[in-house]
Structure 1
Amino acid sequence: MKFGIGQPVHRREDPVLVQGRGRYTDDIALPGQLHAAFVRSPYAHGELRGIDADAARDMPGVLGIYTADDLAAYGPFPNNMTFKNRDGSPMKKPPREALAKGRVRFVGDPVAFVVAETPFAAREAAEAIALDIEPLPAAIAPEEAVAAGAPALYDEVPGNVFLDYHHGDTAAVEEAFAGAAHVTRLRLLSQRLVVNPMEPRAALGEFDPESGRYTLHLGSQGAFGMRAAMAAAMNEPVEKLRIITPNVGGSFGMKASPFPEYVCLLHAAKLLGRPVKWTDQRSDSFLSDHHGRGLEVEAELALDADGRFLAIRIEGLADLGAYLTPVAPIFSSVNIAKNVASVYRTPQIQVDIRCAFTNTVPISAYRGAGRPEGNYIMERLIETAARETGRDAVALRRLNHIRPDEIPYETPVETTYDSGEFTALLDKTLAAADWDGFEARRRESARRGKLRGRGIGQYLEVTAPPVNEMGGIRFEPDGDVTIVTGTLDYGQGHWTPFAQVLSSKLGIPFERIRLVQGDSDQLVAGGGTGGSKSLMASGAAILEAAEKVIEIGREIAAEMLEAGKADIEFADGRFTVVGTDRGIGIMEMAHRLREGVSLPDATPRSLDVKHVHANSPAAYPNGCHIAEVEIDPETGTTEVVRYTMVNDFGTVVNPMLVEGQAHGGVLQGIGQALLERAAYDPEGQLVSGSFMDYALPRAHDAPPFAPFMSRPVPATTNPLGAKGCGEAGVAGALPSVMNAVVDALGEYGIGHLDMPATPDKVWRAIREARARAA
């Protein structure tokens, strides 16, 4: 089929979006709307003794100024994580309210907000509000926060550690290490990052006094889930909230959460009787949005005399910032454990992570949410172990790969791989990357005064946990067919692959298919988008809903064609009587139903269905990435000059979209590997607080990609056989790029460098190595 599964169909969203005709939250203007601005703490830690808003109240256009006392009826924000500490006790979950009261805990902590007739009036009044804050000692770095005598962020969290996570059989791991022929040890850092989607956060709240319902327009990753979270934050039943999400200009995990600003807007809208809007400024978003990553570990890999893996042991410290976010700390604990297993046979895995509060911007899920970090740890250990033991790193990987005849394979981290051919995938990538021709390329680089290195990043990800997902199909009066889904496209292009799935199943013309995804009033379930699960969940829901449509259609066709239901078959969009040429197309059937065709009373009058798919299990996308870099030893500048990847995403519905997702993920991985870092000074001021100081990757940082290749082994865990692709690019890029950097620096005896490998850091490492050798 031209628009069927597996075809590289152009995104239906693009003509609108690339012409600037999209409708984002800031584009929405409601009659009589007001505007909000927020007052934020300039201190990382302090006692909030008073707020002087007298001057601001008299400023032109100001209609209201609100503090935590005004929001006493709301909150706290929900956190449903139920992790337990090593000793079995529950993790500490200090509550967070919409506005700080009594104490501020990071620079940017919101303490008050202004509502005025215009955005300028609101911001000007906010700047006129004076805060009386008594500064307190702050704990900025996580190692400072857990040190003896560190300032406590919360009285109920001694030592600032709210979770002491443990996974693994300690005795078995110790026995494996005691009997190892070699142990490789590495200290590894996954630095804090600022999340920078193209569209800053924005929201518009309104309240209907007649129905008592709130409506919140905002960028999100799922209207259904956001409704539940906001209802809890507002202390309202879910039916009192409606979430509407228009186009979203990126999220990477950050916009999935409720934020303080949203509660404030709804409160003011109810109190003032007018809609209230807020659009974040880019300079504020560095402080108002959640950050990503923030993990430091000591990792160990035990090998026997033949090079077989015996055990991995990881001990680490995770920075979660000043407040718990709704999914904290899953990305810095269990996701590390589940993903470090990767494609390798490792009998024992132990992970111990202490999750700590610091006086910094809260951290939440960021593209991959622990999956890239787990794979980065494993791949850096393998490369280092190969170098230390004099083994070939490719052969070491092959030796320890899980074989196809071992699948289904139960890992020591409570996952079961259902599919995958990891050695064959590695071999295909090596051939595509011209692995054997590397030395000639290295010599050519050397003639130009450059160091050249290559690195492998073989990865496997565990997709997000299963959730219920809606797959509604609606035959519209104008002849179009609408898919209703609880996942949400914030840049991925869901409309096109979802339409391809439906068109393949029901034979509905591709151009007649529409998508509804961002209105909670039209949903009966929805897990939102995140964790690379959308196509698995929504795809399965659409397929199952389509089966229901076929069943209903067979009953209707039996009446229309004067045959028994058992004699009706469906194929290629058409119901036919078996063994005859009598039939009716599904689109014609829908048209006749709209026209009011005469049918017996018991016969359905519509093909519409509302279906909920019950939680497909996780899948395991995997792949192999090979990066080549050139380093200028006189400046430390690193450039990714060659990039090859082969991925196993199972059934690929639209290879064009999958390639785009992979390229975007790789570039984000390159950003973390070489450029990005959220930097604080000792007082807790974010010194990388704008694009003048924060090195986001640009177009020129993208490598020349080899032609996109796949080696799919369809998943058995969902009807489509899909495995998810949204975060895989990062998981492959972090280890492949950093392994390439270390390989290039190997001639100086440099065996490790922490991310980001900035020009300054590389230059200094080379100078120090030269000085040691002199």
Structure 2
Amino acid sequence: MTDQASDRHAIGRPVPRKEDRRLVAGGGRYTDDVSLPGEVHGVVVRSLHAHGHLRGVGISTARAMPGVLAVYTAADMANYGSLPCIVEIAGRDGATMRKPHWPVLADGKVRHVGEAVAFVVAETAAQARDAAEAVEIDIDPLPAVIDAAAALAPGAPPIHDEVPGNLALDFEGGDPDAVEAAMARAAHVTRVSVVSNRVVVTALEPRAVVATYLADAGRWEVHVQSQGTFGMRAMLAGVLKVAPEQVRILTGNVGGSFGMKAAVYPEYVCACHAARDLGRPVRWLNDRSASFLSDSHGRDLQITAELALDGDGTFLAVRLRGLANLGAYLGHVSPVFSTANLVKNLVSVYRTPAIAVAMRCAFTNTTFLGPYRGAGRPDANYVMERLIDAAARETGRDPADLRRLNHIRPGQIPYPAPNGLTYDSGDFPAVFERALEAADWAGFPVRAKASAARGLLRGRGIGSYLEVTAPPNREMGGIRFEPDGMVSIITGTLDYGQGHATPFAQILSERLGIPFERIRLVQGDSDLLIFGAGTGGSRSAMMSGAAIVEASDLVIEKGKRLAGLVLEAAVADIEFAAGRFTVAGTDLSISLLDLAEQQRQGLAVPDDMAVEMADGLDVTHLTGLIPSSFPNGTHVAEVEIDPETGATRVVRYTMVNDFGTILNPLLVEGQLHGGVVQGIGQALMERTIYDMAGQLVTGSLTDYALPRADDAPDFSSECLAFPATTNPLGIKGCGEAGCAGSLSAVTNAIIDALSAYGVTAIDMPATPESVWRALRGARRTARSPDGGQRRDRHR
């Protein structure tokens, strides 16, 4: 490998993704592309009622229809376990979180529209769909509750008999006594009420599964989307009540997930059951309308927050109290992001001595909640930034200056935060000042006047954030030298659109001097893993990166011993650099790849090395615990609002982030753009609406507004690097930062624009209708862009 080639693919270079040419040319292999001999087709019959007693399921007509092989109901699934919630979170005073049984198919009761009631299998998809329409479901409707407050109110219809008052978890975190004392001595307490609106995930690729049962081996092979095959295997095996080794998970290309495809769903268990029962592969594919009803939703928090300040504006404490709507069942990690993740991320980049979070998590007759890009991290940062803007407004301070006053300073790092974590690195003031400079903060009044001349309101908003990435965990790093001369990386994270193959190859190429083009990523097969914590929580680069670095060091160790044999030198005299082993002080050397080939051809090794070298230079490695990291940044948004219609556009967007060491800036930029646009969607347009009967009103892309290309502004993006000390590469993670900064930057900009009319708060999504209504309900006089008074012309 030439120095020029090495530099082109080095860590930090914007190397295009390896897989893009294949994917854009239609060469991807997604779950629905899997086609197996003799496969049959499954269709789910879903409840049309949000709540009711399930009196019976008539299947005789459907079972007799052409091509139908089976119709399964709850009775057929009775021996399987509950759909899992894999986390345990203690409630107030140590109370236990309620985990009601979640049957594979509805049994005795339905609890949300779209709940799976029956599974029809036929020779063709069309035959299965026709038969599904013939299944007769007898339901006695019950009153439904669609929001957390109604569900927790006295006399609300009980959703699960074993959950009194529909309360899944009454959570309290932080130090409530310290916060109460700070509130009592504060010179000023700011209070805001905010909503993090429920969103539908709408990944590009709908969920799908193809399951085969291998009777001779007594195990399943399951092609399914996931965010980690090792975790999916464990969860699915748990529901099937078999050993994990009896399930093989295979995940090919995945068209987006954002957290939603990490869980086991009822359809996967049904497909596995039918495959074993019928002795044939079973395929199931969701359609878009059913996805709205059956895929996990995100967010859905109602929070009242308080920020205590002393007379100088110094933060004393912050307190959150609120409600979380978990839906009809507990998703696999759904309690985390409405409780623990709020505690971890609320402090952000500010010195705040005391925090308290109290959340009551309720069951309702809506689709269950799951993680969605950030999973509580954007929500916590959103609350803090809304509080700071409100506090600045109420105390007559400049919002930028109030943030400056309360930043954690570089000299205070490592910083022991009140959430129990220690920030290991960063320069939050430097990131903040660079963001304001890049956004031309000082030049805003000129732009505001130009907008006013066109009859538009212009506002600006800051969204600073700090995220705590996924909890500490281990990760697998495998390196395998292949017979064809390629080198494979095997790791337990999983690429579901991020493009792992390229940055991982950049790491390995730099560490071992292997040509970038000769490195490939092997992923998506649980049989190849000894462990895998999967992808999520902005963990992949730092976790797999650390695993690859450590595995590379093991390859070098083994290689030095083999090179000593080949070069007839002592191991202590062997040096390694740029992909070659060299005898120190000589020109005797051999490349790593040539050494691997010699070993493959039968290089004789002494008996004392035989066990160690049984796999040649191949390495299968598992790291120790790798701590969380703390990506952070400041985003600045500017919006223009048409006061006649309430239509809002983001017209300028600047972000400066600290992700520590950046493996590939091209991929980071893509992650940021996608995350910001998702945040703009939640802030301006995405609204999940249920009617009082629990019917999903926004149940299709006709009714549910997603951001489009013309909703995205031009982005200005920079990174300042303050490497993490918690992993060998100094990586901090970037996957969820776009959402974390954009929710507050955009919403604060809207409130800033509307403040000319006395509007000081608005909930997400700030749709044209809600902005228009806020303007109409505002006071009748307001300041003009130059600070004077003018008559409101919108009477």
TM-score by length of 1: 0.99
What residue is the counterpart of 1:528 in the other structure?
A: 534
Alignment equivalent of 1:644, drawn from 654, 658, 673: 654
What residue is the counterpart of 1:429 in the other structure?
A: 435
* CA apart distance, 1:168: 2.2
Amino acid at match of 1:195: V
- Deviation track 1:658-703 (CA, whole Å, cap 9, x = no partner) reads 0000110000000000010110000000000001000011111111
What residue is the counterpart of 1:214 in the other structure?
A: 220
Alignment equivalent of 1:268, drawn from 255, 268, 274: 274
RMSD: 0.9
What residue is the counterpart of 1:673 in the other structure?
A: 683
What residue is the counterpart of 1:758 in the other structure?
A: 767
* CA apart distance, 1:639: 0.3
Task: Tell me whether 1:316 sits opposite 2:322 in the alignment.
Answer: yes
Task: Give the number of aligned pairs.
Answer: 773
| Aligned-partner SS, 1:42 | coil
* CA apart distance, 1:477: 0.2
Task: Tell me whether 1:632 sits opposite 2:642 in the alignment.
Answer: yes
* CA apart distance, 1:72: 1.3
CA–CA distance in structure 1, aligned partners of residues 120 and 604 of structure 2: 61
- Deviation track 1:634-654 (CA, whole Å, cap 9, x = no partner) reads 011000000000000000000
Alignment equivalent of 1:622, drawn from 632, 642, 648: 632
Structure 1 172/207 Cα, relative in aligned 2: closer, same or farther at 3 Å?
same
CA–CA distance in structure 1, aligned partners of residues 8 and 86 of structure 2: 44
CA–CA distance in structure 2, aligned partners of residues 590 and 80 of structure 1: 42
5+ long unaligned stretches in structure 2: 1-6, 782-791
Task: Tell me whether 1:742 sits opposite 2:751 in the alignment.
Answer: yes
What residue is the counterpart of 1:722 in the other structure?
A: 731
Amino acid at match of 1:413: N
Contact 1:537/1:615 (<8 A) preserved: no
CA–CA distance in structure 2, aligned partners of residues 219 and 81 of structure 1: 21
5+ long unaligned stretches in structure 1: none
Contact 1:68/1:112 (<8 A) preserved: yes
* CA apart distance, 1:78: 2.6
| Aligned-partner SS, 2:537 | coil
- Deviation track 1:159-202 (CA, whole Å, cap 9, x = no partner) reads 11110000122221111001111110000000110011100000
The correspondence of residues 474-489 of structure 1 with structure 2, limited to 5 A, is 474-489=480-495
Task: Tell me whether 1:174 sits opposite 2:183 in the alignment.
Answer: no
The correspondence of residues 37-436 of structure 1 with structure 2, limited to 5 A, is 37-436=43-442
Amino acid at match of 1:698: R
Alignment equivalent of 2:462, drawn from 456, 464, 474: 456
CA–CA distance in structure 2, aligned partners of residues 519 and 276 of structure 1: 19
CA–CA distance in structure 1, aligned partners of residues 625 and 174 of structure 2: 27
| Aligned-partner SS, 1:329 | helix
Amino acid at match of 1:342: S
Contact 2:684/2:765 (<8 A) preserved: yes
Amino acid at match of 1:144: A
What residue is the counterpart of 1:447 in the other structure?
A: 453
Deviates more, 1:590-599 or 1:277-286: 590-599
Alignment equivalent of 1:701, drawn from 687, 698, 711: 711
Amino acid at match of 1:391: R
Amino acid at match of 2:618: D
User: Percent of aligned pairs with the same residue?
Assistant: 61
Amino acid at match of 1:110: A
Contact 2:656/2:720 (<8 A) preserved: yes
Alignment equivalent of 1:688, drawn from 691, 698, 703: 698
Amino acid at match of 2:771: V
* CA apart distance, 1:595: 1.9
| Aligned-partner SS, 1:172 | helix
* CA apart distance, 1:79: 2.3
Contact 2:757/2:780 (<8 A) preserved: no
Contact 1:617/1:717 (<8 A) preserved: yes
* CA apart distance, 1:87: 2.1
What residue is the counterpart of 1:733 in the other structure?
A: 742
Amino acid at match of 1:691: L
Contact 1:297/1:316 (<8 A) preserved: yes
| Aligned-partner SS, 1:73 | coil
- Deviation track 1:302-326 (CA, whole Å, cap 9, x = no partner) reads 0000000000011000000000111
CA–CA distance in structure 2, aligned partners of residues 239 and 55 of structure 1: 38
* CA apart distance, 1:55: 1.3
CA–CA distance in structure 2, aligned partners of residues 771 and 448 of structure 1: 21
* CA apart distance, 1:411: 0.9
Contact 1:164/1:354 (<8 A) preserved: yes
CA–CA distance in structure 2, aligned partners of residues 169 and 227 of structure 1: 38
CA–CA distance in structure 1, aligned partners of residues 729 and 197 of structure 2: 36
CA–CA distance in structure 2, aligned partners of residues 77 and 138 of structure 1: 22
Alignment equivalent of 1:519, drawn from 516, 525, 528: 525
* CA apart distance, 1:771: 5.7
* CA apart distance, 1:770: 5.2
* CA apart distance, 1:613: 1.1
What residue is the counterpart of 1:577 in the other structure?
A: 583
Alignment equivalent of 1:554, drawn from 560, 579, 603: 560
CA–CA distance in structure 2, aligned partners of residues 759 and 96 of structure 1: 39
CA–CA distance in structure 2, aligned partners of residues 76 and 357 of structure 1: 17
Contact 1:36/1:277 (<8 A) preserved: yes
